[in-house]
C-alpha cells in the first residue's frame, strides 16, 4: 500500500471515530440553527430572508470545531515524529489530513446544510446550490483550517488561536458561497461566484499542504 493511501486511511479512521467525529460539528450546526428563531423572533418572512446567509456562515464556523485535532493529537503523542520519518513527505500527509477532514466533517455538514436552510424557511429549491457550495467551500475551510491547526501546534488554547488565524482567511469563501446561494435564489448569475469559490478552494488544496507541512516541521524541531 502506498504511503498516501496508508496515511489517508488512518486519518479518515481517526476523524470519524475519535472524539465524536462529525457529530460534534453537526450538533453545533443544529443547535445554532435552532437558536436563530429565538434571536430573530418568529416572523417567517424575515427568517427566510436571512436563512441562507446565516446557514452558510454557521457552516463555516462549525467546520472550525474539530480542526484542533488535525495535528495536535499526532504532535502530542509523538506520532508526528514517526510520520515525518516515513515514506511519504509531510506535504503528502497534510494533503491526506485535509482530505480526510473534508470527508469526515465538511461533507456531512454540506449534506445537513439544505435541511437547515429549508427548516429556517428558505425555499426548498435552494437545496442543490447549498450542497454544492458546502462541498466546494468545505475544501477551503478544511485546508485553510489545517494551516491554522498546524501553526498553532504546541500553543495552549490552540482552538481559539486557530479561529483567530483562520477566520480572516474564510472571508473570500464566505462571500463567494453566500453570493452564489443568494444569486441562485433571486435568479441572477450564480455561476460566477460559484466558480470563484471553486478557484479559491482549489488554490487552498494546492497550496495549503505546503504551509501545513512547514508549520508541522517547525513544531517538531
Partner 1 sequence: MISAVSIEGLGVARGDRPLITGFNLALEAGEAVALAGRNGAGKTSLLRAIAGLIRPSGGRVVFRSGDAEIPPEDAIARDAHLIGHQDGLKLSRSAWDEVLFQVLWSGGTAASARSACARLGLTNLLGLQVRKLSAGQRRRLALARLAASPRSLWLLDEPLAPLDRDQRAVVGELMAEHLAGGGLILAAAHDPLPVTARPVEIGG
Mask for 137-176, x = binds partner 1 (CB under 8 A)? ----------------------------------------
Min separation Cβ 213 and partner 1, Å:
13
Residue 37: exposed, middle, or buried by beta-carbon count in 10 A (0-12, 13-18, 19+)? middle
Question: Which residue number, 122 or 150, has a Cβ lying nearer to partner 1?
Answer: 150
Mask for 191-220, x = binds partner 1 (CB under 8 A)? -----------------------------x
The answer to whether residue 24 forms part of the interface with partner 1 (CB under 8 A) is no
Question: Which residue number, 18 or 44, has a Cβ lying nearer to partner 1?
Answer: 18
The answer to whether residue 6 forms part of the interface with partner 1 (CB under 8 A) is yes
Q: Which of residues 64-103 bind partner 1 (CB under 8 A)?
A: 73-74, 77-87
Q: Which of residues 36-65 bind partner 1 (CB under 8 A)?
A: none
- Judged by the rule CB under 8 A, the positions of this chain that interact with partner 1 are 1, 3, 6-7, 10, 13-14, 17-19, 73-74, 77-87, 220-221
Amino acid at each position: 500500500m502506498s504511503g498516501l493511501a496508508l496515511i489517508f486511511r488512518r486519518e479518515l479512521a481517526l476523524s470519524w471515530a475519535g472524539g465524536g467525529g462529525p457529530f460534534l460539528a453537526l450538533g453545533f450546526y443544529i443547535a445554532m440553527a435552532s437558536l436563530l428563531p429565538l434571536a430573530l423572533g418568529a416572523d417567517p418572512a424575515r427568517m427566510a430572508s436571512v436563512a441562507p446567509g446565516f446557514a452558510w456562515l454557521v457552516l463555516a464556523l462549525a467546520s472550525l470545531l474539530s480542526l484542533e485535532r488535525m495535528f495536535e493529537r499526532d504532535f502530542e503523542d509523538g506520532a508526528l515524529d514517526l510520520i515525518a520519518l516515513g515514506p511519504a513527505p509531510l506535504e503528502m500527509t497534510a494533503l491526506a489530513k485535509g482530505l480526510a477532514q473534508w470527508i469526515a466533517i465538511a461533507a456531512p455538514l454540506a449534506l445537513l446544510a439544505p435541511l437547515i436552510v429549508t427548516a429556517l424557511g428558505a425555499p426548498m429549491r435552494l437545496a442543490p446550490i447549498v450542497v454544492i457550495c458546502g462541498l466546494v467551500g468545505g475544501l477551503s475551510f478544511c485546508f485553510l483550517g489545517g494551516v491554522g491547526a498546524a501553526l498553532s501546534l504546541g500553543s495552549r488554547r490552540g482552538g481559539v488561536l486557530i479561529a483567530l488565524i483562520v477566520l480572516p482567511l474564510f472571508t473570500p469563501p464566505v462571500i463567494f458561497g453566500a453570493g452564489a446561494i443568494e444569486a441562485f435564489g433571486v435568479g441572477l448569475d450564480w455561476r460566477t461566484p460559484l466558480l470563484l469559490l471553486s478557484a479559491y478552494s482549489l488554490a487552498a488544496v494546492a497550496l495549503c499542504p505546503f504551509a501545513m507541512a512547514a508549520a508541522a516541521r517547525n513544531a517538531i524541531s
